[in-house]
Amino acid sequence: MPLEWSGLSPDLLLTLDRASAEPLRGQLERQVRDAIRSGRLGVGERLPSSRELARALGLSRGLVQDCYAQLQAEGYLVTRVGSATRVAAGAAPAVPPAPPRPAPPPSRLIADFRPGVPDLGSFPMGDWLWAVREAGRTIPTASLDYGDPAGEAGLREVLAGYLRRVRAAAAEPDRIVVCSGHAQGLLLALSALARAGVRTVAYEDPGGPRSTSGAAAWAGLDAVPVPVDEHGVDVRALAATGARAVVVTPAHQWPTGVVMAPHRRLELIAWAAERDAVIIEDDYDAEFRYDREPVGALQGLAADRVVSIGTVSKSLAPALRIGWLLAPPSLAATIVEHKLLNDRGSPALDQLALARLIESGRYDRHLRRMRAVYAARRAALVAALAEHAPGVRVTGLDAGFHAVAHLDVPGGEAAVIDAARARAVGLHGMSMCRADGADSPLQLVLGFGNTGERAVHAGITAIADLLTPTDHAPGPRASDTPVQRQRHEPA
């Protein structure tokens, strides 16, 4: 696509050798011609005006006009009255055909139950643009410099207050490091642990094997899975690994939805104290809960042993790429050093905009609205399954915007997913969350964050027979917890 300019003349890099025996006009013609032949100037691309090019090269305007006229006569340029001089059609070499793109899905999906994605259409664009304008209007000149790699002091101050108020965290501004989302936060934490002598990090299974193993390998650490039960991560199994760090999601375990029980939290903290270990807490969607009281951050119970990672990827949108680490004093300076070496710091204007959004109360207002939206979608999922697949057991509904469906059907996970895709419904299996990639027991991770109520109902209706065995009779099975009662069960 040619560049569009409005009232401005584009720059064009040309070099003239005044010591050469070749005349300046010949040099100019040759270089413009070569730029077009090589594809450096594309069809329809605008050239500088004769006046601007003459000024930039220290030539007479008449010489440049003669050059343009010659190239126009040769078919390289085209000029229209009142318009700029542009590269003529057919003058540049043909662009090689692009490689064939993958075949698109057979049809637009009725519903995509992709987990981990918030409602992108509900992003508070008006509030965000207001916050950006406010930040730009009030930003100190000094903040336009590279700044503190730990992040803007204004945002860290606001985040500390927010985390103390909402997450019961032991938060101080000088222990907060602003980062570009969870992926960078995890890598910064693991890199700091590697420097401190840690060699092995454990992670929940099921959990995020790809993200944790990839970050661990990048930091030079070994990664080992540890099973999760109905109370959270198995601390006895964790102790057997010899790891001195573990990545956990205690407020709403990804992906099972289990809330780490109080006694298990205390066991985990005791393990960390006994092994001189560090707990990395992924506090990814704790803002959204429904049938239970809020659960505070694990970091608030052991600030010297926990690195807590939070982001706005679930509360606002992943595209903002804003997150933070709340680090123990022993690791904070090393994490800041790694952040400096990694990218010198996150964008200041976006940080200050987030600070204004939180300070103004608009962030809390958005979260209250989204809790109601996700609660309605959760209810729609429960109702659709109760109506069309009443024997399916569903867990993990107390918080967040995904649930786990436990199936007892022949064919396996891939067969169910492929059959649903053929009906324009996107399903996602638990195998992607298991360290060994196993597809048994057969479970689906049903995300409803970015899927509206109507789509939820239509999607479940379309695949209901895939979720239940062919000999299924209406009504709950003795071994299952009916989905209708899931909302009233304790976490």
Query: Which residues lie below 8 Å from residue 35, measured CB to CB, with a gap of 6+?
Result: 12, 14, 41
pLDDT at residue number 8: 66
Question: Which of 68, 61, 3, 57 is closest to 32 using CA atoms?
Answer: 68
In the CATH scheme, what is the homologous superfamily, with its name and number, of domain 111-117+370-488?
Aspartate Aminotransferase, domain 1 (3.90.1150.10)
pLDDT at residue number 471: 56
Among left, alpha and beta (phi > 0; psi -120 to 50; other), residue 19 is alpha
What is the rounded distance in angstroms from the CA atom of residue 455 to the CA atom of residue 452? Answer: 5
- Burial status of residue 264 (CB atoms within 10 A of its CB: 0-12, 13-18, 19 or more): buried
Beta strands in 149-221 (DSSP E): 176-179, 200-205
- 120-364: which CATH topology? Aspartate Aminotransferase; domain 2 (3.40.640)
pLDDT at residue number 84: 85
What is the rounded distance in angstroms from the CA atom of residue 424 to the CA atom of residue 340? Answer: 46
Q: Does domain 24-87 have CATH number 1.10.10.10?
A: yes
Domain ranges of the chain: 24-87, 111-117+370-488, 120-364
pTM for the model: 0.85
pLDDT at residue number 482: 43
How many separate helices (H) and strands (E) can be counted in the chain?
A: 14, 15
Query: What sign does the CA torsion over 14, 19, 21, 24 have?
Result: positive
Q: Mind spelling out the 3-state secondary structure of 430-472?
A: HHHHCCCCCCCCCEEEEECCCCCHHHHHHHHHHHHHHHCCCCC
Beta strands in 153-294 (DSSP E): 176-179, 200-205, 222-229, 232-233, 245-248, 278-282
> What burial letters (b/e) apply to 312-341, b meaning 16+ CB within 10 Å?
bbbbbbbebbbbbbbbbeebbebbbbbbee
Question: Which of 115, 109, 111 is closest to 443 using CA atoms?
Answer: 115
Across the 491 residues of the chain, what is the mean pLDDT of every consecutive 10-residue run?
A: 57 91 94 92 90 93 94 91 85 71 70 96 98 95 93 97 95 97 97 97 95 95 97 97 97 94 97 97 87 85 97 97 96 97 95 97 96 96 96 91 94 95 97 95 96 97 90 41 40 31
Number of Cβ within 10 Å of residue 16's Cβ equals 15
